[in-house]
Amino acid sequence: MKSSLAQISSFGQSIWLDYIRRKFIASGELKKLIDDDDLRGVTSNPAIFEEAIARSDDYWEAIKTLAQSGKSTEEIFLAVAIEDVQNAADTFKGVYEQTHGLDGYVSLEVSPTLAMDTAGTIKEAQSSWQTLNRPNVMIKVPGTSEGLPAITQLISEGINVNVTLLFSLERYRQVAEAYVAGLEQRAKKGEPIDKVASVASFFLSRIDALVDPKLEKLANKSTDKAETAKQLLGKTAIASAKMAYQIYKEVFQSARFKALAEKGAKPQRLLWASTSTKNPAYRDVLYVESLIGPDTVNTVPMETLNAFRDHGQPAARLEEGTDDARNSLAQLAELGIDLAAVTQQLEEEGIQKFIKPFTSLMGVLEEKRKEAATL
């Protein structure tokens, strides 16, 4: 009997894990999840690496060797992160081959300090891609306005991209179009486009975490808006995701993309990110169960992965209630909640939430580098 997690793939969705750590790969735990639960990929970010490197001894020997060979703090970080991603990618090699390049990817983020720097993002992504030297890796690029031209450029060079920190529908559409433009540029150069892969990571729980308090404030007032506000609690993220999927279908079923598909191009799948439930009043697998549907990915933290295996109920729900989702977003505007302002705030905060652990990690690595140099 397949586990609840393994059953999700029968609905056309791939489950990836939002976690990486050296011991987790070396111990065979990652391989076990691939074999038992049909896990199909891994994502990482600066917060995950901070947790792994700064709060464990797994990396001390590697840090010591690199420090004693004269590497800088940032070079040490990139070296250990790249080794982890390479090892994880090698573990997923079979998945990559069996799915003909649809899955089996491991993602590495460019430095979050480059989120507003197009040229810097391109340069670091090119360097990491070359060093990783694996077909089944993706470079994570923030979906900021500065990230858009970087996405097009990298895709045109055949570099797989995981676009991260997406909150708004307008920005998501721009990202999908940036991907298509990159494929068009690559095809125009006469270069193959059948091996290029990309996902667009749409962040969920953070949307509700910011919108719900605004709704609660309105729900607690005795006005004609109170009941509407109450009914919208916990619905904004899922409604946004369902509308993003409608944009996905529009872009990737268009005549423009079909011309590329005939040359072997893959659609840029939507990936649901930030899928751990922040509000304890909501079901802990809310952002997994509600959004199962074809041609999508859900990247989940370990806690959510285990919760879904235990009591998740897999079923195709992504295209249920599309009209209700559209209405929910319209009602937010009627209540005076500006979703565009909310998503802009989330993008800015999201960048800071990755810069903070990255800066902290660099501080820890600097101390370890100095310590190693004295040995």
Known catalytic residues are: 140
Q: How far apart are the C-alpha atoms of 45 and 18, rounded to whole Å?
A: 8
The span from the CA of 139 to the CA of 146, in Å, is 16
Cβ contact 221:249 at 8 Å:
no
The residues near 118 (Cβ < 8 Å, ≥ 6 apart) are 146, 147, 149, 150
Interatomic CA distance for residues 193 and 170, integer angstroms: 26
Element holding 13 (H helix, E strand): strand 13-18
Pairing between β-strand 137-142 and β-strand 105-109 as defined by DSSP bridges: parallel
How far from 192 is each of 39, 101, 162, 264, 293, CA to CA, in Å?
A: 28, 14, 19, 8, 29
Q: How many Å apart are CA 145 and CA 25, to the nearest integer?
A: 35
List Cα–Cα distances, 305 to 8, 37, 140, 148, 323, in angstroms: 12, 10, 22, 31, 29
> Which of the 8 DSSP states describes residue 51?
I
> Between vectors from CA 319 to CA 285 and to CA 271, what angle results, nearest 5°?
55
Do residues 23 and 304 make contact, with C-beta atoms less than 8 angstroms apart?
A: no
